[in-house]
Every structure is written in structure tokens, then in C-alpha cells.
Amino acid sequence: MKRIVEPAKEIPVAEECDICIIGGSCTGVFAAVRAARLGAKVVVIEKMNSFGGVATQGLVNYWHSQYDTEFKKQIAAGMSLEVVERLGKRNAVAEIKECPHKAFMFNSEELKIELDEVVTEHKNIVPFLHTHFAAPFVEDGKLKAVFVENKDGRQAIKAKVFIDASGDGDLAFRMGVPFVLDDFLQPPTTCAKIRNLCPEGVNYYETVKAHYEEFGLEKDCGWSGEIPGCKDIRMYAETHVFNTNASDARQLTNAEIKGRRQTRAIMDIFRKYAPSENMILLSLASYIGIRETRRFAGEYRLTEEDVLEGKSFDDTIANGSYRVDVHNKENGGFLFKYLDGRQENFTFFGMEKGRWRPERKVNPTYYQIPYRTMVNRKVDNLIFAGRTVSTDKAAFGAVRVMINLNQTGEAAGVAAFQALDSGKKVCDINITKLRETLKSGGSILL
Ligand SMILES: Cc1cc2nc3c(=O)[nH]c(=O)nc-3n(C[C@H](O)[C@H](O)[C@H](O)COP(=O)(O)OP(=O)(O)OC[C@H]3O[C@@H](n4cnc5c(N)ncnc54)[C@H](O)[C@@H]3O)c2cc1C
């Protein structure tokens, strides 16, 4: 690649703060709120026009269960529950009683407004929307600021501690935190809200199976779900853009275009072979939903065995019960591995049941995420939260759902405050105090 030299120039410092967070999904927002509630001045940088990430801009409107796999023991609460309660006051969330592991479906548009409220209620949070993290500023070997780009041009945000909640780990990447980028990455999906796509009495999968080739689609399948109060509107996540590395600019561009074309093709199948009078594309996700890109190396890498055997850790900051769920490389669908040894593989061709291990009398009912998956000694003052936490591929398949990642956000906020308050490196904070502070702020720690 040809190179040119960018001339050096002075950059205005837009804000000086205690903690700077890159990325404003619930992960980033919850980190900001937990740190602000402890007294820190926090800046959140979000490149889109709202908070919420995949849950709002990506249209993905399901949070899974806050209970263990038997629905007996509550294993999570904190800000996820706070936000669910707030949405409840506006009829913008519904509990899914018939499928308790799915737990909550919400209205993504209402969540955008609710997160605005949550952020602006905290006067010591300075939000920046439409603001893109561009590069880190390192002086004397220490991360001192980040450069951002927005309507005001290029600016710097100075902070003492940083949280990377950007999904792809853009800051961690630029700081040289080691990562792996697998040859097979779980494929991304363009989500869409469509009214009356599949008329009553018509089988969605049989219709798509019969005609996918005519409309240039591959063998594929995913899932769809309702939106509270909108019986005729569903959120579709039925296709995948296979073989995509969404952390590569050109591949991401192609995936966006292909993902939208897939949505049109699905609609065209129904237009031709099972038309309904008032089928309408109501909205497309603002960006393609990215499942997996770089997996960073933390001080500990959570493994498939840790998850499926429910290993407990002294530095646990989150609990989860969502199964291992890895979207397939081809033929659509996903491979589920449950904590009780069952396995299900959904593909274009149907569903195969089996076991990944023999039956046992006693099974784990939840797993844990340790704080050490969120830090790497390479950078003293950087915590990663959200899908940047350190896991192996299969563990990532379980950890990556929002009910889990929201907890990592909360933990990052509290840990960042503690590092600031104690003057310690993020790797060396007092874990007992971290867990106690999380608990007293509403988190469940087991
Ligand atoms: C199609 C699909 C369906 C899914 N279904 C479910 C489901 O039903 N339930 C569930 O719980 N999970 C589901 N998941 C998984 C889950 O949604 C994601 O793993 C999770 O949202 C990741 O959260 P995050 O906070 O790490 O990242 P994100 O939600 O991606 O948030 C990252 C934020 O950082 C911002 N950002 C990124 N780069 C920059 C930058 N350089 N500068 C400034 N801001 C930046 C982004 O705009 C975004 O707001 C699904 C994922 C996909 C893709």
C-alpha cells in the first residue's frame, strides 16, 4: 500500500476527564453510569447518533434470562434490570413467559430514548454522539488521551483511565493488545423490521427453501422475533453474510451492501410466492450486526470448559446462563451446546439433536466471567468490556449475549473508578472491593 505523511499539528483538547469510554452500547453506558455514581467525571464517545449499539442501531431486541438454566436462582440484575424496569413504565418491554430463557423483548427505539435519559441524568457524564475514536495518544509509554473526529474536527479527550467498549476493540487494537482473528468468524447479519412478511398459514422456512436460489441467496437460516405490542411486525435476523471479517474496512462495506440485498431478496420471495397485501420494510439496522471480530488476550482467557463446567473464579464480575451459541460457517443457523450436555445444530436442512457429553446426575446451571478477562498488563490504564473480553472461540459464543456483556460494562466502570481512586494499575485493583462495590450498586455476585 502506498503511504503519505500526515503533517504534525496541534489538536485542541475537547475534554479532560477521569474515565474515557469508547463505544456507547449498554456496555459503555452502564460503565459510564457506574463510574459516575461513584463520583468520577466520565466521557463517553459514540460514533452513531444514539446509545445502545447492537440493541438499538442493530435492532437486536432480546435480552436473555437473569436466572440460572433452571430458572431457580437469580444470577444477574444491576443496570440491565434497572433499564428493563424503566422501559416497563412505557410498555416498551415484554417478558417472554413461554420462552423464559429469552426473557425480555424490548422496543429498540424506546431504548435509545431511555439511554439518553440514563446518561443525561448523571451530570458528571459528558456524552459525545457522532464522534469517532480515531487514535490513541501515548506519552512516556502511557495512554494519556484519545483523538476523536466529529463535526468540530479532530480533538483530543484526556483521561486517566480508559474503557474500550467498541465491540471490535478499536482502542485495544491500536494500543497493541494481542488478539486473534480466526479464519472462521461467526458471520454478521443485517437485521430488519418487516410488517407482514410471512402471511398466516405460510411456513417461512419452507417458502425460503423452495425459492432461495432464484433470488441469489445462499443456504441459510437464522431467527426472528416480535416487538412488544406489534403483532404484525417482526424483527428478522434470518440471513448471514458468510466469510466476512467485519474489522476490515472493505469487507465491512461489502457486507453492508450484501446484507441489505439479502433482506430485499427474502422480501421478493414472499412478494412473488406468498404475497400479503401490506408487507412493508419498516426499518433496516443502521449497520450490519457484527458477531465476532478480534478476540483479545486478557490476563485470563475464559475457555469453553470454564463455561460448560460452570467454573467459579475469585474475581468473578458477571454470571451467565446462556448456552454456547456459535453461528455456522455455512448453511446458516447455529450450534448450541447447553450446560446439561445437550447439543442442537440448526441449519438450512433442519435441526439435529445430540449430546456434546454424556448425561450426568448433576449439571452446572450457570457460569462466571472473571475480571482478569478484561485487562492486559500491556496497558496499565485500559479495561476492555463487552465482546472484547478475553475468551476462546466457544466461550465467546456464550459470553457474547447482552445480559452478560452489560455486566462487564458495569464491572469496567467500577474497576476504572477504583484504579483512579487508588492510583493502582487496572490489573492490580483490590478484587474484594471491586466485588463489594458492584454488589452495593445492585449487581449480583455469587
Ligand atoms: C444479528 C445479531 C443478533 C444477536 N442476537 C442477540 C440476542 O438476541 N440477544 C443478545 O443478548 N445478544 C445477541 N447478539 C449478540 C450481542 O448483540 C452482541 O454481542 C453485543 O451487542 C455486543 O455488545 P458490545 O457492547 O460489545 O458491542 P456493540 O453493541 O457493537 O457496541 C459497540 C459500540 O461502540 C460503538 N463504536 C464502535 N467503534 C467505535 C469507534 N471507533 N468510535 C466510537 N464508537 C465506536 C458502536 O457504534 C457501538 O455503539 C446478537 C448479535 C448479532 C450481530
Q: Is the CB of 325 under 6 A from ligand 1?
A: no
Q: Is the CB of 127 under 6 A from ligand 1?
A: no
Give residue 97's pLDDT.
Answer: 81
**CA of residue 400 to ligand 1 center, whole Å:** 9
**Mutate-to-test residue for ligand 1 from 44, 48, 60, 155, highest number of ligand atoms within 8 A of CB:** 60
186 Cβ partners below 8 Å, 6+ apart? Answer: 291, 292, 326, 327, 397
CB 236 within 8 A of CB 324: no
**CA of residue 46 to ligand 1 center, whole Å:** 12
Q: Is the CB of 22 under 6 A from ligand 1?
A: yes
Q: Is the CB of 414 under 6 A from ligand 1?
A: no
Q: Is the CB of 322 under 6 A from ligand 1?
A: no
Tell the residue nearest (CA) to atom 52 of ligand 1.
289
DSSP, res 49: S
**CA of residue 321 to ligand 1 center, whole Å:** 19
Q: Is the CB of 385 under 6 A from ligand 1?
A: no
Give residue 100's pLDDT.
Answer: 79
Tell the residue nearest (CA) to atom 41 of ligand 1.
133
**CA of residue 140 to ligand 1 center, whole Å:** 33
**CA of residue 368 to ligand 1 center, whole Å:** 20
Query: What is the tens place of the pLDDT at every residue in 39-58?
Result: 999 999 999 999 999 999 99
Interior/surface letters 292-318, b for 16+ CB within 10 angstroms, e for the rest: bbbbbebbbbbebebbbebeebebbbb
CA–CA distance, 53 with 61 (Å, rounded to integer) = 11
**CA of residue 272 to ligand 1 center, whole Å:** 34
Q: Is the CB of 27 under 6 A from ligand 1?
A: yes
Write out the three cell numbers for 42: 466520565
Alpha helices in 274-401 (DSSP H): 304-308, 393-399
- Ligand 1 atom nearest the C-alpha of 387 is 26
Give residue 22's pLDDT.
Answer: 98
Q: Is the CB of 228 under 6 A from ligand 1?
A: no
Give residue 290's pLDDT.
Answer: 98
H or E element at residue 125: strand 125-128
361 Cβ partners below 8 Å, 6+ apart? Answer: none
Q: Is the CB of 23 under 6 A from ligand 1?
A: yes
Low-confidence ranges of the chain (pLDDT < 50): none
Q: Is the CB of 294 under 6 A from ligand 1?
A: no
CB 42 within 8 A of CB 69: no
Q: Is the CB of 41 under 6 A from ligand 1?
A: no
